[in-house]
């Protein structure tokens, strides 16, 4: 049938995220006060009218499974189609515990799923990117242009990841060459979102299997650039790929910028996440809260500034929190003083404790730890 | 499929004493406490108590309420056996059918629904109150006493007793007399409007009551007195804890303020959660100049101004230089730069223009003239406009008298 099918890669590991990915994959790292990073791509897909989404997982995915569940919170718990979680189930590469080396290898391992896709087009995207993109428009542009593969990219040069892919573009947005690992990047930076037909995808997966190729950008984008019609679709809205703790910290602090919040949370494209039943946040007469993003269910009796508070955080009387990211159910004890700290879920900061790090080298506290 | 106990929630009333707040929605759908609507309380109480079958009787402006309840998923009431059912009045052969004539008639018209589950007991609830209660404990007391009807009661201050339906009981809490708003109350046990009935008994009384042309088909006025006269065993079940009728503008405002003080009504208590349906919104943002004290703030809010002692529901905007005190702001309300809002209830999507002034502090006014100000959903207040205390405006900006 006509339409778009979503495939999200959530197998990558980013060691630079250290404590945050000890017990979860980068795609399920909490972000923005009440979300997991994957919520942004999942919601972008759902808001584009995509009914069926597959998430390709490999390891450390228990937290992600717990988060997405049946897909109900994204309206993806359906009788037909809906959300499908795809751990490795076709291990003919016999590579044991080794991670997927690239997207083509990941796709090959779920080949039987790909064959059963109902829609005639597929969008490939990463689960570790914070982005809210109108994929419907990309899809329409793909159909209009008659391209084989549409590559979403940006002209923006800020926050470029080291391993970014750059596209040289000629007339009519046709991609002329594809580069990466270049010292002086030129052209458009790919956002690693691609739309192509199911038929072409199956063929490419098959071809790569025969030649033992695993990388989408070398085996498909670079090698086949001449044979295939590759087109660039420029989208300059907010996007952030988060690979390191420092990037995590910096991108989180950007949430205090109204322009970025407007970009990431437009009214017409809400970001969905797992529902938690918590009451509203309460700010006590002795408490204060400025320039901060605060989710529901928090109790603020101390002072909070320039911080991101997830659901259920409590800041006790006399406590001072500045430039921090406090995830779900973190509690900060009375008279504690913390600055530039990233506290993972359920961290307890005890009475009177002082933790002062620097914005250029934030301190991360692992899930469930007590300080 | 047989159930031991089901609940029937009377949600058809207009709630006319909430005036502009219910001009377009039924009372149970009125927002409360930041994230909730009134009906979240009885529905959550049912699911927490283990009652998985709830009939919701709707009649007045049901669109928003029906949409809100939907499949019942937020309350875990989307079941294949039982679950939540919306029960509007309906037509029958020969153009008979009628609106729900009274609370008892509403249940009478749905005897077929109740019979489907063939329950031993039926809990009758209303969508007017803010409280947390385990109905199954009440059913257990009803069972243990072998009662026909059990009515939950609350001890109220003696000087307020004449405002309630008062139950006079014997030493074992059997109800011996019922007085509706007595001038000289003999007891201070007020009915909370929550009943447990043995279904087969109630069924019989409902059929008899329907045949009685002089009856107004109401539980309080007809069914309860008839059962008492007939000598049925009727038990008073004592409830202690927070309970508030939010049927008037003042009591709705009071209950919101009670919730703020986090005393008896603790909504963060994980052992008895209150569930609600809320659109996905980003977390609240508190700006650089924000000053927020003794206030609840909900997702989607953008607070740049000053807020004291208030309840901010989702998506409320308080611009820089604006000040809000002792007020209840329903979803989407927007207070612009320099405006002052005090002792007011702002309905959904109300806009208060720049430097406007809504409501007033009771200290500055003659107590006879003071009252909370209420702006109905969608009301737009112009820049620099003044809305005096005790004033109520509807969405057409017309004053509505209480």
Q: Does A264 touch chain B (CB under 8 A)?
A: yes
Assess whether pLDDT exceeds 80 at residue B359: yes
Average pLDDT over chain B, rounded to whole? 95
Contact A261 B285 (CB under 8 A): yes
Contact A281 B274 (CB under 8 A): no
Q: CA angle A50-A52-A57, nearest 5°?
A: 120
Chain B interface, best mutation among A40, A296, A301, by max B CB count within 10 A: A296
ipTM of the complex: 0.91
pLDDT of residue A93: 53
pLDDT of residue A54: 97
Cβ-Cβ contacts under 8 Å, B313 against chain A: 280
Contact B268 A279 (CB under 8 A): yes
Whether the predicted model's global pTM rises above the 0.80 cut: yes
Contact B293 A256 (CB under 8 A): no
Chain A interface, best mutation among B286, B298, B300, B310, by max A CB count within 10 A: B286
Interface of A with B in 23-82 (CB under 8 A): 32-34, 72
pLDDT of residue A97: 60
Range with top average pLDDT, A42-46, B10-14, B182-186: A42-46
Question: What average pLDDT does range B311-338 have in this prediction?
Answer: 98
- By Cβ distance, the residue of B74, B281, B293 closest to A285 is B293
pLDDT of residue A121: 98
Q: Can you tell me whether residue B306 is helix, strand or coil?
A: strand
Contact B35 A261 (CB under 8 A): no
Contact B312 A280 (CB under 8 A): yes
pLDDT of residue B180: 86
Cα separation, B330 vs B311, whole angstroms:
8
Residue B95 confidence class, pLDDT cut points 50, 70, 90 = confident
> CA-nearest residue of chain B to A312?
B268
pLDDT of residue A238: 95
Counting residues of chain B whose pLDDT is more than 70, the rounded percentage is: 100
Cβ-Cβ contacts under 8 Å, B288 against chain A: 290-291
Assess whether pLDDT exceeds 90 at residue B174: yes
pLDDT of residue B185: 92
B308-315 contacts: CB < 8 A, separation 24 or more? B309/B257, B309/B260, B310/B260, B311/A280, B311/B33, B311/B34, B311/B256, B311/B259, B311/B260, B312/A280, B312/B34, B313/A280, B313/B31, B313/B34, B313/B35, B314/B34, B314/B35, B314/B278, B314/B279, B314/B281, B315/B281
Cβ-Cβ contacts under 8 Å, B292 against chain A: 283, 288-289
Contact A282 B262 (CB under 8 A): yes
Assess whether pLDDT exceeds 90 at residue B402: no
Q: Which of B236, B142, B139, B153 is nearest to B192 (CA)?
A: B153
Q: Does B318 touch chain A (CB under 8 A)?
A: no
Cβ-Cβ contacts under 8 Å, B273 against chain A: 277
- By Cβ distance, the residue of A280, A290, A308 closest to B35 is A280
> CA-nearest residue of chain A to B307?
A283
Phi-psi region of A82 (alpha: psi -120 to 50; beta: other; left: phi over 0): left
Residue ranges of chain A with per-residue pLDDT less than 70:
89-97
Are the C-beta atoms of A280 and B298 separated by less than 8 Å? Answer: yes
Interface of B with A in 65-124 (CB under 8 A): 73-74
Q: Does B289 touch chain A (CB under 8 A)?
A: yes
Q: Which domains does chain A have, with CATH numbers?
A: 4-148+195-218+244-264 (3.90.550.10), 282-365 (2.160.10.10)
CA atoms within 13 A on the CB side of A229: 11
Residue B202 confidence class, pLDDT cut points 50, 70, 90 = very high
Q: Does B280 touch chain A (CB under 8 A)?
A: yes
Q: Which of A174, A178, A171 is nearest to A232 (CA)?
A: A174
Report residue B237 as tokens: 């079940």
> CA-nearest residue of chain A to B260?
A282
């Amino acid at each position: 049938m006509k339409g778009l099918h979503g495939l999200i890669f959530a197998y990558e590991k980013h060691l630079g995220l250290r404590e945050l990915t000890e017990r979860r994959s980068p795609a399920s790292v909490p972000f923005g006060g009440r979300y997991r990073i994957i919520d942004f791509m999942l919601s972008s897909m759902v808001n584009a009218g995509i009914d069926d989404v597959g998430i390709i997982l490999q390891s450390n995915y228990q937290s992600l499974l717990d988060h997405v569940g049946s897909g109900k919170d994204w309206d993806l718990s359906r009788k037909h189609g809906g959300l499908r979680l795809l751990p490795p189930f076709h291990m003919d590469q016999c590579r044991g515990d080794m991670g997927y080396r690239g997207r083509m290898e990941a796709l090959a391992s779920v080949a039987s799923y790909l064959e059963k896709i109902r829609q005639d087009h597929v969008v490939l995207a990463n689960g570790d990117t914070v982005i809210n993109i109108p994929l419907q428009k990309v899809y329409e542009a793909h159909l209009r242009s008659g391209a084989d593969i549409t590559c979403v990219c940006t002209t923006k040069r800020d926050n470029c990841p080291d391993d970014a892919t750059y596209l040289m573009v000629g007339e009519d947005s046709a991609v002329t060459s594809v580069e990466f690992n270049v010292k002086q990047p030129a052209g458009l930076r790919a956002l690693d979102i691609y739309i192509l037909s199911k038929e072409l995808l199956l063929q490419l997966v098959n071809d790569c299997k025969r030649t033992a190729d695993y990388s989408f950008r070398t085996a498909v984008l670079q090698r086949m650039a001449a044979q295939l019609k590759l087109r660039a679709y420029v989208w300059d809205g907010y996007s952030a790929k988060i690979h390191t703790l420092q990037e995590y910290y910096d991108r989180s602090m950007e949430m205090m910028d109204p322009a970025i919040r407007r970009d990431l949370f437009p009214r017409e494209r809400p970001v969905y996440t797992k529902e938690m039943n918590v009451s509203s946040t309460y700010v006590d007469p002795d408490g204060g809260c400025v320039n901060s993003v605060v989710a529901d269910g928090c109790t603020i009796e101390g002072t909070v500034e320039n911080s991101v508070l997830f659901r259920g955080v409590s800041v006790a009387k006399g406590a001072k929190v500045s430039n921090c990211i406090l995830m779900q159910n973190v509690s900060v004890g009375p008279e504690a003083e913390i600055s530039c700290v990233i506290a993972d879920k359920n961290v307890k900061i005890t009475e009177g404790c002082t933790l002062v790090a620097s914005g250029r080298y934030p301190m991360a506290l692992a899930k469930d730890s007590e300080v | 499929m047989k159930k031991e106990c089901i609940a029937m929630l009377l949600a058809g009333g207009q709630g006319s004493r909430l005036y502009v707040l219910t001009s377009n929605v039924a009372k149970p759908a009125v927002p409360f406490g930041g994230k909730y609507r009134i009906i979240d309380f009885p529905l959550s109480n049912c699911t927490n108590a283990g009652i998985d079958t709830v009939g919701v009787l709707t009649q007045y402006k049901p669109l928003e309420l029906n949409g809100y309840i939907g499949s019942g998923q937020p309350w875990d009431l989307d079941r294949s056996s039982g679950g939540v059912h919306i029960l509007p009045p309906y037509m029958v052969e020969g153009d008979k059918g009628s609106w729900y004539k009274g609370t008892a008639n509403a249940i009478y018209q749905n005897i077929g629904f109740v019979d489907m589950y063939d329950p031993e007991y039926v809990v009758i609830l209303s969508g007017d109150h803010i409280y947390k209660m385990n109905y199954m404990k009440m059913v257990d007391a009803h069972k243990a006493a072998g009662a026909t009807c059990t009515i939950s009661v609350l001890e109220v201050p003696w000087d307020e007793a004449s405002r309630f339906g008062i139950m006079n009981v014997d030493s074992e809490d059997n109800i011996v007399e019922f007085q509706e708003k007595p001038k000289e109350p003999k007891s201070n046990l007020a009915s909370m409007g929550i009943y447990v009935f043995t279904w087969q008994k109630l069924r019989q009384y409902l059929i008899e009551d329907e045949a009685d042309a002089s009856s107004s088909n109401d539980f309080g006025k007809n069914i309860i007195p008839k059962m008492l006269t007939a000598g049925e065993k009727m038990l008073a079940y004592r409830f202690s804890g927070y309970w508030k009728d939010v049927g008037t503008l003042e009591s709705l405002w009071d209950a919101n303020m009670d919730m703020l003080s986090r005393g008896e009504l603790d909504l963060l208590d994980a052992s008895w959660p209150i569930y609600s349906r809320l659109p996905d919104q980003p977390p609240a943002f508190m700006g650089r100049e924000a000053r927020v004290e003794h206030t609840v703030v909900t997702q989607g809010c953008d607070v740049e101004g000053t807020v004291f002692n208030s309840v901010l529901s989702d998506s409320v905007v308080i611009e820089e230089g604006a000040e809000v005190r002792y007020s209840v702001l329903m979803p989407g309300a927007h207070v612009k730069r320099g405006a002052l809002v005090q002792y007011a209830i702002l309905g959904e999507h109300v806009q208060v223009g720049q430097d406007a002034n809504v409501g007033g502090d009771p200290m500055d006014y003659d107590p006879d003239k003071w009252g909370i100000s209420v702006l109905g959903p969608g009301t737009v207040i112009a820049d620099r406009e003044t809305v005096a205390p005790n004033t109520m405006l509807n969405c057409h900006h017309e004053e509505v008298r209480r």
